[in-house]
Structure 1
Amino acid sequence: MRSIRAAAIGAVTMSLALAASACGGGSPTNSGGSNDSPRTLTYWASNQGASIKVDKKVLQPELDKFEKQTGIKVKLEVVPWSDLLNRILTATTSGQGPDVLNIGNTWSASLQATGALLPWDAKNFDKIGGKDRLVDSALGSTGAQGQDPAAVPLYSMAYALYYNKKMLADAGVSKPPATWDELVAAGKKLSKDGKWGLGAEGANVAENVHHAFVFGKQHGADFFTADGKPDFTSDSAVAAVKQYVDLMAKDKIIAPGNAEYAQNQSLSDFAKGKTAMILWQTASATLKDLGMKDVVWDVAPVPVQSGSPGTGTMVNSMAAGINLAVFKNTDNLDGAIRFVKFMTSDAEQKILNKAYGSIPPVKSAQSDPAFNSPATTVLKDTLAQSAAALPQVADESQFETAVGTAVKELFADAAAGRPVTTASVQAKLEKAQQQMPAK
């Protein structure tokens, strides 16, 4: 247990700054003996909407509904992605955290390794209606293989290519690009007169690692060996990261200023018509919040190297999503499990996933017509056919930070006009690998 805790502390001191598809100020929230009463829960929600204000508007009526049904009051804090992982890891080491919390599904195995989260064994799953209610792709990102899940899927998401229909048509691009060569060709036609072909968030560490992972899968890179050791410097991993950064460095279809962009800045540019395309996970609700009308944009699968999206090397998205976890040391375990049951009920799954434009990981909730629009169909098909889970290993959160930061530094080089070469990419990835915990 001591080595696990040391790894978690090490992850905190790496100045994690994950932002997403991806906590700030405020006093420590309660758990482990500091609940106001057994009828109170503290809930850390991740920032899913265009702003924290939007999330509070979405969530508070549902929390009030839960209180009315159960008598349990839920104290809500919406935590920005830039701080969420740090806050969670600090809570796992201090024992002072919330009762219930959202986690990025890619962190499940890392947080599971701290031993702080409630395992979802068959008995606990039965209390919320059973494990078989949940889709397999969502369950694949809930913890290490062979162990009881560390969390329960709450929102499922996938990356897609969002594009401005008029901008593409005006540039003579008759259909959304299906391959990277087609995307680069279209992007060059669109990058003129102060507008750009593609948006990116080069300072968004989590966004960077998601794209590095997808390009990596398309090049045959896994980033970890079969026994869980980091493998960031393979030829395929280097080629994958270089191809992504080259969209700015060589192809010049991403504005150099995007190297400094953080959460939602590139999406805002897309909504304002400054960029014609963006790679994003489940953007429809946020675009609406940003004032972009549905008739302006459309969605297509993320491009692949050649051909069409599919299994194997045709992976074109991570299996993105948000999981709901419970701290084991909560003073109100029964209430926490009841809250998870409430949030994963059919009714709440429909309400919340409609609000965020995500896909319910609960099978029966997906039958709602709201999840059969053309945009959500692309996302559902991607999750079912061509998405892959990020490595479910104990060091996954450190991988996200180290590789995501390497990509951030490479984007900074590209924006400054410094060469981005195979050698420079390999050097950044070598540095990232050296930052991983020793095995």
Structure 2
Amino acid sequence: MRRLRAALTGAVTLSLALTATACGGGSATGEGSNDSPKTLTYWASNQGASIEVDKKVLQPELDKFEKRTGIKVELEVVPWSDLLNRILTATTSGQGPDVLNIGNTWSASLQSTGALLPWDEKNFAKIGGRDRFVDSALGSTGVSGEDPAAVPLYSMAYALYYNKKIFADAGIARPPATWAELVDAGKKIQKQGKQVLGAEGANVAENIHHVFVFAKQHGADFFTPDGKPDFTNEGVVKAVEQYVDLMAEDEVIPAGNAEYAQNQSVSDFAKGRTAMLLWQSASANLKSQGMSEDAYGVAPVPVQSGAPGSGTQVNSMVAGINLAVFKNTDNLDGATEFVKFMTSDEEQKILNKAYSTIPPVKAAQSDPAFDTPANTVLKDTLARSAAALPQVPDESQFETAVGTAVKELFADAAAGRPVTAESVKAKLEKAQQQMPAK
């Protein structure tokens, strides 16, 4: 999921995902619907620095699609703060688009509504086949063993972005490879009067992405193998405590970042206020804010020890955007043709270049544009050391409940209240109680 930057909202609305029936999309009446075989409605997620940036990227490609097929695509770019609730409302009201972007971590939750078109072998064949896509991207398209609920569109991974000048001034020769090295580097950076590491403590989505990685590094999972919430196990508690302690104990995350929301930490880094940033595929965002590519370096996210890899060396969630179709759209053939267009080798190169993301289509990755130092780090992370967030029906609720618990713990840290294993466990227990009963 993208920079995503925005907090997921509405725990009550999220419960709709449990009860929604297979409705919505392209119905005869209602906002976003249409009956014309020559028109499609498309909800695109906000990938660029602004909605206007997205329109400038997407509209020429949609015009190209119309010229080739005669099908007009009516575009709406939806902010991340609204997207999930808009989608869930559409699954129950029948007033939704034909095609839409979804954060890949939501795939299983939205799959459980029954509203999205399943991508079985027959449907995959219409867009060139399942084997065109990278395995790691397909791993975040729905529950394992079931037909995917969506098709990968953009792939992303977290990396550590660091300001070269600040590092040089502080006498730091290379980016930190472990969390202990990051904390040590932070002490040198602070002596230069700079802030160390940007974070967004009020951004629920960012919180869940980071604590998921820390949990993996502690050999822990938020769910049992049969899909039951297990938020208070020892490894998860240690993971959340370690992440919040970057502010509470190590003081490398500024206390003011407890209130930061979407993109505020990126802005600080772009303006040279902080030395490091943990972010998903940030190059395009940094460029839009005036930071040149030669001003920063990109390295893998730190691990506890050693080098990134699988198991406890995981250092990113598999981030990205999927493309989904409401299965009762009145224009299924047109919607499928649009998905084929958007995931074609040509369009994958154009769109992923524009957003500094990685194509989930194998053939498109061969373009030299994806061999930059930053993209090499991201591709290597996705291939070797990234893991998909839990693909369980209650994943959306999990993101909101645990992400909010971390937000509250950051608020405690910023206010000088103790953050202990006991206080972390209490917050996580409260989050687990908010999950739907089985």
Scaled by the length of structure 1, the TM-score of the pair is 0.93
Specify whether residues 14 and 406 from structure 1 end up closer, same or farther in structure 2 by C-alpha distance, changes over 3 A only.
farther
Q: Hey, what does 2:379 align to over in structure 1?
A: 380
Q: CA RMSD in A?
A: 1.6
Residue 9 (structure 2) pairs with residue 32 (structure 1): no
Question: What is the rounded CA distance, in whole Å, between the counterparts of 1:14 and 1:96 in structure 2?
Answer: 17
Answer whether contact 2:133 2:360 (CA < 8 A) is retained: yes
SS of the equivalent of 2:145 reads coil
Q: Hey, what does 2:228 align to over in structure 1?
A: 229
Q: CA deviation at 1:251?
A: 0.8
What code does the residue aligned with 1:366 have? Answer: Q
Q: Hey, what does 1:116 align to over in structure 2?
A: 115
Question: What is the rounded CA distance, in whole Å, between the counterparts of 2:393 and 2:10 in structure 1?
Answer: 13
Q: CA deviation at 1:275?
A: 0.3
Question: What is the rounded CA distance, in whole Å, between the counterparts of 1:330 and 1:379 in structure 2?
Answer: 35
Q: CA deviation at 1:72?
A: 0.8
Answer whether contact 2:25 2:94 (CA < 8 A) is retained: no
Answer whether contact 2:222 2:231 (CA < 8 A) is retained: yes
Give the length in aligned residue pairs: 419
Question: What is the rounded CA distance, in whole Å, between the counterparts of 1:66 and 1:125 in structure 2?
Answer: 20
Residue 352 (structure 2) pairs with residue 357 (structure 1): no
Answer whether contact 2:266 2:277 (CA < 8 A) is retained: yes
Question: What is the rounded CA distance, in whole Å, between the counterparts of 1:14 and 1:310 in structure 2?
Answer: 33
Q: CA deviation at 1:419?
A: 1.0
Q: CA deviation at 1:279?
A: 0.4
SS of the equivalent of 2:42 reads strand
Question: What is the rounded CA distance, in whole Å, between the counterparts of 1:170 and 1:349 in structure 2?
Answer: 40
Residue 8 (structure 2) pairs with residue 13 (structure 1): no
SS of the equivalent of 1:191 reads helix
What code does the residue aligned with 2:168 have? Answer: A
What code does the residue aligned with 1:263 have? Answer: Q
Question: What is the rounded CA distance, in whole Å, between the counterparts of 1:399 and 1:54 in structure 2?
Answer: 31
Specify whether residues 340 and 12 from structure 1 end up closer, same or farther in structure 2 by C-alpha distance, changes over 3 A only.
farther
Answer whether contact 1:58 1:352 (CA < 8 A) is retained: yes
Question: What is the rounded CA distance, in whole Å, between the counterparts of 2:233 and 2:249 in structure 1?
Answer: 22
Question: What is the rounded CA distance, in whole Å, between the counterparts of 1:10 and 1:66 in structure 2?
Answer: 35
Structure 2, unaligned runs of 5 or more: 1-8, 17-23
Q: CA deviation at 1:195?
A: 2.6
Specify whether residues 186 and 345 from structure 1 end up closer, same or farther in structure 2 by C-alpha distance, changes over 3 A only.
same
Give a deviation string over 1:238-294, Cα, whole Å, max 9, x none.
000010011111111111111111111100000000000000010011111111001
Question: What is the rounded CA distance, in whole Å, between the counterparts of 1:36 and 1:413 in structure 2?
Answer: 52
Q: CA deviation at 1:36?
A: 5.3
Q: Hey, what does 2:215 align to over in structure 1?
A: 216
Question: What is the rounded CA distance, in whole Å, between the counterparts of 1:438 and 1:181 in structure 2?
Answer: 39
What code does the residue aligned with 1:63 have? Answer: L
Q: Hey, what does 1:84 align to over in structure 2?
A: 83
Q: CA deviation at 1:191?
A: 2.8
Answer whether contact 1:164 1:296 (CA < 8 A) is retained: yes
Answer whether contact 2:99 2:325 (CA < 8 A) is retained: yes
Q: Hey, what does 1:126 align to over in structure 2?
A: 125
Q: CA deviation at 1:236?
A: 0.5
Q: Hey, what does 2:256 align to over in structure 1?
A: 257
Answer whether contact 2:345 2:364 (CA < 8 A) is retained: yes
Answer whether contact 2:27 2:35 (CA < 8 A) is retained: no
Q: CA deviation at 1:66?
A: 0.6
Residue 54 (structure 2) pairs with residue 55 (structure 1): yes
Q: CA deviation at 1:194?
A: 5.4
Q: Hey, what does 2:394 align to over in structure 1?
A: 395
Q: Hey, what does 1:25 align to over in structure 2?
A: none
Question: What is the rounded CA distance, in whole Å, between the counterparts of 2:251 and 2:335 in structure 1?
Answer: 49
What code does the residue aligned with 1:362 have? Answer: V
Question: What is the rounded CA distance, in whole Å, between the counterparts of 2:428 and 2:335 in structure 1?
Answer: 41
Question: What is the rounded CA distance, in whole Å, between the counterparts of 2:243 and 2:147 in structure 1?
Answer: 35
Question: What is the rounded CA distance, in whole Å, between the counterparts of 1:67 and 1:416 in structure 2?
Answer: 54
Specify whether residues 60 and 12 from structure 1 end up closer, same or farther in structure 2 by C-alpha distance, changes over 3 A only.
farther
What code does the residue aligned with 1:174 have? Answer: A
Question: What is the rounded CA distance, in whole Å, between the counterparts of 2:194 and 2:86 in structure 1?
Answer: 38
Q: Hey, what does 1:72 align to over in structure 2?
A: 71
SS of the equivalent of 2:119 reads coil
Residue 138 (structure 2) pairs with residue 139 (structure 1): yes
SS of the equivalent of 1:42 reads strand
Q: Hey, what does 2:19 align to over in structure 1?
A: none
Scaled by the length of structure 2, the TM-score of the pair is 0.93
Q: Hey, what does 2:328 align to over in structure 1?
A: 329
Answer whether contact 1:33 1:330 (CA < 8 A) is retained: no
Question: What is the rounded CA distance, in whole Å, between the counterparts of 1:67 and 1:364 in structure 2?
Answer: 24
Q: Identity of counterpart residues, as a percentage? A: 81
SS of the equivalent of 2:186 reads helix
Question: What is the rounded CA distance, in whole Å, between the counterparts of 1:15 and 1:291 in structure 2?
Answer: 41
